[in-house]
Amino acid sequence: MGVAIEIGQSGRTPADALAIPVVQGEEPQDERLRAVVESGEFRGERGEALLLRVDGTRIVASGLGPRGGIDLDTLRTAGGAAARSLARVGGTVAWQVDRRLPLPLADQAAALVEGTLLGAYFPGKWKSDDTKTPRPFERIVVLVEETPEVQAAVERAALLAERTNRARDLVNTPPNELNPQTLAEHAVALAAEHQHLSATSLGPAELDELGMGALAAVGRGSRNEPRLIVLRYEPPQPRNPELVLGLVGKAITFDSGGISIKPGLHMEDMKGDMAGGAGTLHGLGAVAALGLPVRALCVLAAAENLPDGNSFRPGDILRAANGKTIEIVNTDAEGRLVLADALWYARREGATHVLDVATLTGAMELALGDLYAGVYANDDNWRDRIVAAGGRSGDLVWPLPLHPRYRRYVESAFADLKNGSTLRQASPALAAEFLHEFAGEGPWAHVDMAGPGFLERSRGDYMAVPGGTGYGVRLIAELATSLA
C-alpha cells in the first residue's frame, strides 16, 4: 500500500496539513475556523473546502452540509474535497474527527481515509509534464483514540481505496495498451500477489472447444483475439465450503459498436467498456487481500468489438455455450453476448451465487445517472443482500424488476432469441431477461453500471475526475464480507 495510515493524537502528530470537517450552520469544532465561518467566506456546504494558513499551520476546512444529511458518503466527499485542495501540498494530512457527529468514530475515520485516497486520484498518468501531476500523500493520520476497531476500519478503508484506484487505472488505460491479452496478463500479475489466488485465460481455440460462439463472434473482427480470463480464490478455511461466489465481468477493452458502428463523438470513452471487468477483477483482489473466508470465482469476458471483413453481422445466428441460438440484430449489443458465455462458464465451474457487473445499456445511465447502478435478480434475498452491500460500501445499487413478460422483447422468429429490440422501450430490462437465459440455476444478479462506471465529468463528490471510478471493487468486498 503506497500511503501509510496511522492513528495519532491532536497536537502531537506532525503533519503538512490539518483537515477539519465542518457542519454547515454550526460552530466549528476548532476555534481557529470560527472567524472564517462567521464572515461567510466558508459556509460548510457539502463538498466545499478551503485551505488556510493560520499561525503557520495549513488548515483545510471541509464542509459536511447540514447535520441532518450527514452520512458516510458525506464524509467520503469531505475527504475528497480536502485531498483536492491539498493537491500541491501532498505529504502528510491529519484528520480531526468530529466526536459530535452521530456516527461511530471507526466509521468516520474509515470514510475520511477512503474519501481522501479516492479524491486524490489523478487520471493523467500518461502526461509528460510532471508539473501537472499532484504531489502524492505519503501518510494520512486520523486524530482519534486508538482502538483495535478504529485501526481495523482505517486499514480496510485504505486497502479498498487502493484497490479501487487500481481498477480506475485499468479502466483509464488506452486501448492501444490494454487489450484482451494484456488484461489477462494483469490478472496473472494480480494473482501472483496473493497466496490463495490463481489466474488463467482461455484463447480462441479453447473458446471454440467449449462452444462459446457468442464471445468468439464478438472478438472476431479484431486482430487482438478474445480471451476468457478466469481467477479462483480458495481460502484455506472457508466459512461455508459449499458456497462459491461467482463474479462475472464484461471486459470489452474497446467497443466501436462493430458493424452497427457507434457515433464518433465520445467514442474514445469506449475504452471504459471494460469497467465492469476491472471492478470484478480488483474486487476479487480486494477479497483476497482482506483474507475473507469465502470461496470465489471471477470470469472476465474480454474482447475488442471492431468492424472488419471477419466481423459478426446483423442477421448472423450464433450458438452460445449453453446451446441456445441468438439472432444478431445489433452488433453494438455485444456485452450481453460475451456475458452469456461467461455466465454459463461460471456455473459450470461451480459458482453457486452469481453476480455479473457490466457497462451494459445507455438507457440505464439515462435512468439513474452517474450515481446508482441498476440491479436485476432472480432471487429476492440475493438482490437485497447486494443492495445492502452497495449502501454500506458507497457503490450504490437500485433494484429494478425482472419479469418474464419482458422476454417477449427478445423473441426471434429464426432463433431461440435475439440480442436486441427495435422498440425503444425497457432496454435494460430486456438485456437482463436476455442474460437470465444463460444465468443457470441458483441465485443470480445483474448489475448494469453504465452510469457510475465511467464519468465524463466530476460527480460532485469524491469521484471528481473524468474516467473510471473503480465501481464494483467496494461492492464486491462488502458483499463477500456479508457472506463470510
Active-site amino acid positions: 262, 336
Phi/psi at 320 (nearest 5 deg)? Answer: -80, 170
As a whole number of angstroms, the distance between CA 118 and CA 469 comes to 9
As a whole number of angstroms, the distance between CA 362 and CA 370 comes to 11
Q: Which three cell numbers stand for residue 353?
A: 451465487
* SS3 (DSSP) at 230: strand
Is residue 156 packed enough to be buried (19+ CB in 10 Å), middle (13-18) or exposed (0-12)?
buried
As a whole number of angstroms, the distance between CA 184 and CA 199 comes to 8
Residue appearing with cell numbers 452520512:
71
Q: Considering Cα of 463, then 467, then 472, then 477, what sign does the dihedral take? A: negative
Beta-carbon contacts of residue 263 (< 8 Å; ≥ 6 apart):
none
The DSSP result for 307-335, as a single string, is -STTS--TT-EEE-TTS-EEE-S-TT--H
As a whole number of angstroms, the distance between CA 250 and CA 273 comes to 8
Which DSSP letter does residue 62 get? Answer: E
As a whole number of angstroms, the distance between CA 472 and CA 449 comes to 9
As a whole number of angstroms, the distance between CA 27 and CA 105 comes to 20
H helix count then E strand count, the chain: 13, 19
